[in-house]
Each structure stands twice: as structure tokens, then as C-alpha cells.
Amino acid sequence: MKNTLAITAVIFTIGFVTLPIVWSDSDFSLTKFEDYERHSTGIAAVSNLVYQEECGSCHMAYPPGLLTSASWEKLMSELENHFGDNAELDNKTHQSISKFLLNNSSEQSNYRHSRKFSRFISAKNIPTRISKTPYFIHEHDEIPERMVTANNKVKSFSHCNACHTNAEKGSFNEHDIRIPGFGQWDD
């Protein structure tokens, strides 16, 4: 009887320990992995057509997860002098875009990279330029100026999509960086 109990316990233990190793095809799907990858290395892509049309007509429609809600509020309150241009909007469009930006700002996002843009932003120093956020500066500090600001094909760190080939899809993966005139960025 003791031997039967011991053997049963061993078989049960082996079965229990190896159980997590035995997966069926339905336990894992590429879609789930792609969702994880996108949320851990990406930023939510722009999903608002009004924002894409209004803001994207002059520059890349930056994903809202690249700035905090305080930054977006400040930026939207200064549209009469939007980096040297008048970008004022009618009231309805302004409200629609503001709501989209605030609801999808970095601290509202469930994307890990967006959350990083929220760090180290103080109430005293609210950036309206993505390139002035501490996380952006940290991520771009190794890139020589000659590759960006002195590069006629890029000209500015604000032209994300010049080097980040999938920026408009919300992907800023370092493996997708191609600096015009220099090729793939290798950290």
C-alpha cells in the first residue's frame, strides 16, 4: 500500500511539474505575441482622422503617447504661434483634437514606451517639443548631430519618420531605424 501511494505521488508530481511544458496550439498565438511586442516596444498609432488630417497636413501626426496631457494642453493653447506658424482651429475641431490627445497622452497609455515619456516631467517645465522630453533626450543622446541636424535629408530631431521607418504606425523599434545617408543605426 505504501509503495502504491508513493508511486502515485511521484506520477502526480511529475505530471504536475511537466504540465506547464505541454502546450497546445491554442495556448499561444502570434497575435498575442504581436500584441505584447507592440505594447512593450511601441506607442499607440494615431487613430483619429481629424487629428491626422489637420496636424498631419503640415508634419507627421505625432502619436499622442509621446507627450503628457499637460504638454498637449499647453501646445493646444498656443496654436496661434505653433512653432512660428498660425495653426488655429475652429472651436469644434480644436475640442475634438484636444480630447483625443488628452485621452491618449503618455500617462493615459498602456504602452510601455509612452509611459516612459511621462517620467521626469515637472509641473514647472512642461515641454511642448517631444525632442525636449527627458526620455527622448536619453534615447537619442548617442546620435551625432551630423547624422540629424547637419543631415539635409533629416534636418531635425522632430522629423521622427525620417529615420524611424515605422513611426507612423507607432513603432519606434531601434531595429527599424534607417538614417538617410548613413543606413541602419547600430547602437
Non-local CB neighbours of 16 within 8 Å, separated by 6+ positions: none
Helices within 42-147 (DSSP H only): 49-56, 69-77, 91-103, 112-118, 134-140
Q: Give how far Cα 27 sits from Cα of 18, 19, 39, Å.
A: 15, 13, 20
Cα separation, 90 vs 94, whole angstroms? 6
Q: Is 123 exposed, middle or buried (0-12, 13-18, 19+ CB in 10 A)?
A: exposed
The tally of CA atoms less than 13 A away on the side-chain side of residue 108 is 18
> What pLDDT does residue 120 have?
86
Its pTM stands at 0.77
Cα separation, 105 vs 75, whole angstroms? 13
> What pLDDT does residue 27 have?
46
Which of the 8 DSSP states describes residue 85?
Answer: B
> What pLDDT does residue 114 have?
92
The segments of the chain whose pLDDT lies below 50 read 17-28
> What pLDDT does residue 85 have?
96
Cα separation, 80 vs 60, whole angstroms? 19
> What pLDDT does residue 19 have?
47
